[in-house]
A and B are shown apart, each in its own frame.
Chain A
Amino acid sequence: MSEKSEIILEERELERERLRARQELDSHLVSRLDAAFRTRPGSSNPFDADEAYFAKFRSRLRSNTERRQRDLAHQDLPGSVRRWFERTLPGTIPGGATLYFQEFAERLWARIRSSSAPEKVPEWLERALKDLVASAETTELSDEFFDTFLDRVLERIDTGDTMSLWLGKALSAKQWEMPVEEQAYFDGFSRRLKTRTHPNEEEELVPEWLSERLSAATFGASSMEDRPTVIGRIGESRRARKPRVHVLHSPVTQWAIAACICLLLGLGVMLNYQRPVEYSLQPTSYSEALMLQQSLGGGSLFVDPVSDGDESFLMDGLAAEVRLLSGELNSASDAELEFIIRNINTN
């Protein structure tokens, strides 16, 4: 069957499902719900999604993808190689900086070509190295120095950027089609562990407390038995913390928040803001979070003002986990993070 026929069938199936969904509902409700998104009266609404909007949309998308391409070029570079490029040069470089890098490029390029995992090195780097090599001049540098240097780089590339096997597998388990909670979990997990495993040139072990906790939560030998326990603990502690939400609902806090909002509203009007202004109690860094916590009289950092009431237990646990592991607390030091986790676990 051709793809077009498949698409037509798929469309028909969707339409049938739409009709089925509508049959279950009261006809008045159906007509109102359909009206909301099919006809949009008042087309003077500046936010209407018309042709002009989509033209601009595509243009912005082009800029965004170009920017992402530039970002990705650096992300793709194995961390160890990037750090070697970024590292401070030795005080005295035998033969001078230019020769140092020329020699470096030549040897690295040669070794990358014979590497067992060349796919881990992005194409742009390979091209750059090739170009550098093409313009290289003879050097008088010590072979021993470069051999040691390159062995270390390639060792890292070959072993999956110094990640242990279980970690590499764990990180590659993320798939883009995964439900969003799982993706966020993997992102947070990956980010935290990468930070922990690559803080500097020296191999730094993942702190024991974090390693135990993460492997027990997901990848341990008895992960299936342990996972509900760990997530359950987070979920329980989250539920146990819920009374702390009252910090936000206390009259004093609410008055303080209202006063802040009025002040910001006034400022907004003065500055003639056209864009919507959002007031956030969500800290963007750990130090802000601590300040906020102190200003709220020691309330929980993990206050979630919206509770659906219908989300599953697992989701609650994961959400707490994700919040812990994701960028919200990205700037937290080990000690700070340990404090938070201990705080949660003892709640």
Chain B
Amino acid sequence: MAMSKKFNARAAEIDVDDSELVKRFKNGDRDFAFSILVRRYQERVYWTVRRIVGTHEDADDVAQETFVTVWEKLDGFREDASFFTWLYRIAVNAALGHIRKARVKRFVSLDNLLLPFVDKDRKSDKQVLDGERVDAIEQAIQKLPPQQRTVFCMRYYDGLKYEDIATMLGKSTGTLKANYHHAVKKLEVALKDEFAPANV
């Protein structure tokens, strides 16, 4: 019986629209509304920022910061756009802010040096090979300058239009198209070496 009640409550949560949750949050039911919004979008936010900042730890920090900001600012959300669009903007801005701070601070990161060796001990050869390929792609993306990387991820992985990206980043669509073009060219060159036909 208790299980059934729990299940029904959960099902009801899933059915609640974002705008309804925002309304409930603003009306004081903050914990309930916020916890559902977090459950609903935590993974998307995590992967959006992960693609921009690169590492899990940075993505974790930025995703936390994003949701804390949402919690703090949701009362003032004017609902001109959908909740997710608003959330996405905050996440991207937080990721870019993080990069801006980190790129000045980061001189050497042991994380990048040590992790591959730690992981190799636990994986099969096949896993290691696949993992290395994924790492190579991630690294190629991470080597892109921050703006190119961000534009590429927003366009390629998140499917945003140039016009939307332009609004979020405060750039012209021409600049963004150039960024995207350069990013693709650089990735082609970088991945050509990693994935020569003989190696695939």
Contacts and interface: CB of A to CB of B under 8 A. Distances in A.
Chain B residues touching A, range: 35 or more
A90 interface: no
B156 A22 contact: yes
Nearest to B17: A3
Nearest to A258: B108
Chain A residues touching B, range: 35 or more
A308 B145 contact: yes
14 contacts: A29-B187, A29-B191, A32-B133, A32-B191, A35-B137, A36-B134, A57-B64, A276-B57, A276-B110, A277-B110, A278-B107, A279-B107, A306-B103, A311-B147
B146 to A, nearest CB: 7
A72 interface: yes
Please provide the 9 A-B residue pairs with the shortest distance between their CB atoms, ordered closest to farther.
A276-B111, A179-B170, A18-B159, A308-B145, A47-B56, A41-B130, A36-B137, A14-B159, A17-B159
Q: Is the interface of B mostly helix, strand, loop or mixed?
A: helix
B100 interface: yes
Interface string B61-79: 0011001110111001000
B93 A183 contact: yes
Interface string B130-158: 11011001100100011110000001111
A138 interface: no
Nearest to B67: A61
Q: Is the interface of A mostly helix, strand, loop or mixed?
A: helix
A68 B71 contact: yes
A179 B168 contact: yes
Contacts of A44: 119, 122-123, 127
Interface of A: 3-4, 6-7, 10, 13-18, 21-22, 24-26, 28-29, 32-33, 35-37, 39-42, 44-45, 47-49, 54, 57-58, 60-61, 64-65, 68, 72, 176-184, 257, 261, 265, 268, 273, 276-282, 304-306, 308-312, 319
B169 A179 contact: yes
A37 B51 contact: yes
Nearest to B15: A4
A36 B147 contact: no
B99 to A, nearest CB: 9
A54 B64 contact: no
